[in-house]
Amino acid sequence: MARAGLTRLTGNGSGTCNKNDCPNVYRTATGSILVQGGVSDAFTPPQGEGLVEIPESVLKEAVRALGW
């Protein structure tokens, strides 16, 4: 899936991080949610899954953007 096909719900690419390297939340064309963040090793997830860590503020921003 190309990033161009996603709707970015958080961040504007300004501040201390570049346009695409901050923790962010995206919505896919099918309505699924994708999360970008730092890789976490809190536990080992099942094969084919991964863990990422994002700040609470990023998640709150995504919820506001979705109108939830």
The number of residues making up the chain comes to: 68
Residue 60 per-residue DSSP state: H
**What local confidence, expressed as pLDDT, does residue 2 receive?**
79
* Sequential pLDDT tens for the chain (68 residues): 677 889 989 886 555 666 667 889 999 999 999 999 999 999 999 999 999 999 999 999 999 999 99
Do 65 and 9 touch, CB atoms closer than 8 A? yes
Global pTM value: 0.78
Token pair 């998640």 is at which residue? 59
Strand partners, 52: 39
Do 9 and 27 touch, CB atoms closer than 8 A? yes
**What local confidence, expressed as pLDDT, does residue 4 receive?**
81
CA distance 45 to 24: 21
